[in-house]
Structure 1
Amino acid sequence: MITLYLFKKEAFLVEKSTSTATGQKGSFKYIVAVVLIAAIGGSLFGYDQGVVSGALSFFSVHFSMSQATVGFVSGVLALGAMVGCVVAGWMSDRTGRKPVMVTAGALFTISSLLLAISQTVTILVIGRVISGLAIGMASTIVPLYISEVAPARLRGTLVSANQLAFAIGMTTVYIVNATIANLNSTAWNTAMGWRFMFGSGMVPAIIFFVLTPIIPESPRYLFGRGKDDKAQKILTRMNGAESAKKESNTIKQSLQGENKGLLRELFKPGVRFALMIALLAAAFQQLTGTIAVGYYAPIIFQKTGIGTNASLIETIGIGVVKIIFVAIFMVYIDKLGRKKLLTWGAAAMAIALLALALIFSIGKFNMLMNILIMVGVLAHTAFYELSWGGGAWVIMSEVFPTSIRGRAQSLCSLTMFLASYFVSQGFPMMLSGIGASWTFVIFAIFCLIMMWFAAKVLPETNGKTLEEIQADFKK
Structure 2
Amino acid sequence: MQTANKKSGTYLYLVCLVAALGGFLFGFDTAVISGTVGFVKADYSLDAAGEGWFVSCALLGCIVGVIFSGKLSDKYGRKIVLIISAILFLVSALGCMLAGSFTALILFRLIGGLGIGVASMVSPLYISEFSPSRYRGTMVSLYQLALTIGIVIAYFSNAYLVNHAHDVYTGAALNNIFSVQVWRAMLGLGAIPAAIFLFSLFVVPESPRWLLLKGSEAKARVILTKIDGSEAAEHEIKAFKEQGTEDQTSLRELFKPVYRKALLIGLLLPFLSQVCGINAVIYYGPRILEQAGFTLNNALGGQVTIGLVNVVFTFVAIFTIDKWGRRPLLFAGVGGAVVALLVIGVLFYLNITAGPWILIFILAFIACFAFSFGPVCWVIVGEIFPNGVRGVAMSLATLSLWIGNFLVGQLTPAMLESLGSSWTFWLFAICCSPALWLTWKLIPETKGRSLEDIEKHWKLSQPKN
Query: Shorter-chain-normalised TM-score: which range?
Result: over 0.9
Q: What code does the residue aligned with 2:367 have?
A: A
Using the TM superposition, give the Cα deviation of residue 272 of structure 1 relative to its aligned residue in structure 2, in angstroms: 1.5
- Is 1:386 the counterpart of 2:375 in the alignment? no
SS of 1:270's partner is helix
Partner of 1:76: 57
Q: What code does the residue aligned with 2:391 have?
A: G
Partner of 2:26: 45
Partner of 1:440: 425
Partner of 1:236: 225
Partner of 2:96: 115
Question: How far apart in 2 are the matches of 1:110 and 1:216?
Answer: 24
Cα deviation per residue 1:265-308 (whole Å; 9 max; x = unaligned)?
11122211111111111111102110111100000111123222
When the two chains are superposed, the root-mean-square deviation of aligned CA atoms in Å is: 1.8
Question: How far apart in 1 are the matches of 2:353 and 2:16?
Answer: 45
Partner of 2:252: 264
2:401 to 416, 440, 459: 416
Using the TM superposition, give the Cα deviation of residue 24 of structure 1 relative to its aligned residue in structure 2, in angstroms: 5.8
Asked if the contact 2:265/2:438 (under 8 Å) is kept, the reply is no
Question: How far apart in 1 are the matches of 2:192 and 2:294?
Answer: 32
Asked if the contact 1:224/1:255 (under 8 Å) is kept, the reply is no
Instruction: Return the structure number with greater helix share.
Output: 1
Using the TM superposition, give the Cα deviation of residue 416 of structure 1 relative to its aligned residue in structure 2, in angstroms: 0.6
**Normalised by the size of structure 2, how large is the TM-score?**
0.94
Partner of 2:337: 349
Asked if the contact 2:261/2:442 (under 8 Å) is kept, the reply is no
Q: What code does the residue aligned with 1:466 have?
A: L
1:457 to 439, 442, 447: 442
Using the TM superposition, give the Cα deviation of residue 457 of structure 1 relative to its aligned residue in structure 2, in angstroms: 2.2
Asked if the contact 2:211/2:219 (under 8 Å) is kept, the reply is yes
Asked if the contact 1:26/1:240 (under 8 Å) is kept, the reply is yes
SS of 1:255's partner is coil
Q: How does 1:303-452 map to 2 (within 5 A)?
A: 303-366=291-354, 368=355, 371-452=356-437
Question: How far apart in 2 are the matches of 1:410 and 1:81?
Answer: 11
- Is 1:55 the counterpart of 2:36 in the alignment? yes
Question: How far apart in 2 are the matches of 1:133 and 1:268?
Answer: 30
Question: How far apart in 2 are the matches of 1:294 and 1:111?
Answer: 20
Question: How far apart in 2 are the matches of 1:242 and 1:305?
Answer: 61
Cα deviation per residue 1:351-389 (whole Å; 9 max; x = unaligned)?
1001101110122532x1xx1011011110000011001
Question: How far apart in 2 are the matches of 1:347 and 1:455?
Answer: 12
Change (3 A) 1:364 1:284: closer
Using the TM superposition, give the Cα deviation of residue 25 of structure 1 relative to its aligned residue in structure 2, in angstroms: 4.2
Partner of 2:124: 143
Change (3 A) 1:364 1:467: closer
Change (3 A) 1:211 1:273: same
Asked if the contact 1:80/1:131 (under 8 Å) is kept, the reply is yes
Using the TM superposition, give the Cα deviation of residue 442 of structure 1 relative to its aligned residue in structure 2, in angstroms: 1.2
Partner of 1:274: 262
Unmatched runs of 5 consecutive residues or more in structure 2: 168-174, 461-465
Question: How far apart in 1 are the matches of 2:179 and 2:349?
Answer: 33
Asked if the contact 2:155/2:300 (under 8 Å) is kept, the reply is yes
Cα deviation per residue 1:223-257 (whole Å; 9 max; x = unaligned)?
1111111111111111111111111111122234x
Question: How far apart in 2 are the matches of 1:42 and 1:246?
Answer: 30
Question: How far apart in 1 are the matches of 2:72 and 2:244?
Answer: 19
Cα deviation per residue 1:295-345 (whole Å; 9 max; x = unaligned)?
000001111232222211110001100110001111111111111111111
Partner of 1:154: 135
Partner of 1:176: 157
Asked if the contact 1:111/1:128 (under 8 Å) is kept, the reply is yes
2:289 to 287, 301, 315: 301
Using the TM superposition, give the Cα deviation of residue 190 of structure 1 relative to its aligned residue in structure 2, in angstroms: 7.5
Q: What code does the residue aligned with 2:182 have?
A: G
Q: What code does the residue aligned with 1:78 have?
A: L
Partner of 1:223: 212
Partner of 1:201: 190
Using the TM superposition, give the Cα deviation of residue 59 of structure 1 relative to its aligned residue in structure 2, in angstroms: 1.3
Q: How does 1:27-38 map to 2 (within 5 A)?
A: 27-38=8-19
Question: How far apart in 2 are the matches of 1:410 and 1:44?
Answer: 18
Name the % identity.
Answer: 39
Asked if the contact 1:84/1:137 (under 8 Å) is kept, the reply is yes
Question: How far apart in 1 are the matches of 2:294 and 2:385?
Answer: 47
Q: How does 1:81-120 map to 2 (within 5 A)?
A: 81-120=62-101
SS of 1:151's partner is coil
Question: How far apart in 1 are the matches of 2:298 and 2:5?
Answer: 55
SS of 2:376's partner is helix
Question: How far apart in 1 are the matches of 2:366 and 2:86?
Answer: 28
Using the TM superposition, give the Cα deviation of residue 71 of structure 1 relative to its aligned residue in structure 2, in angstroms: 0.3
Using the TM superposition, give the Cα deviation of residue 447 of structure 1 relative to its aligned residue in structure 2, in angstroms: 2.3
Asked if the contact 2:5/2:226 (under 8 Å) is kept, the reply is no
- Is 1:291 the counterpart of 2:307 in the alignment? no
Q: What code does the residue aligned with 1:463 have?
A: G
Question: How far apart in 2 are the matches of 1:374 and 1:453?
Answer: 29
SS of 1:261's partner is coil
1:128 to 90, 104, 109: 109
SS of 1:214's partner is coil
Question: How far apart in 1 are the matches of 2:352 and 2:375?
Answer: 35
Asked if the contact 2:333/2:373 (under 8 Å) is kept, the reply is yes
Question: How far apart in 1 are the matches of 2:179 and 2:413?
Answer: 21
Partner of 1:3: none
- Is 1:251 the counterpart of 2:240 in the alignment? yes
Q: What code does the residue aligned with 1:226 have?
A: G
Using the TM superposition, give the Cα deviation of residue 460 of structure 1 relative to its aligned residue in structure 2, in angstroms: 1.0
| Number of residues of Structure 1 aligned to a counterpart in Structure 2 | 451
Question: How far apart in 2 are the matches of 1:311 and 1:281?
Answer: 31
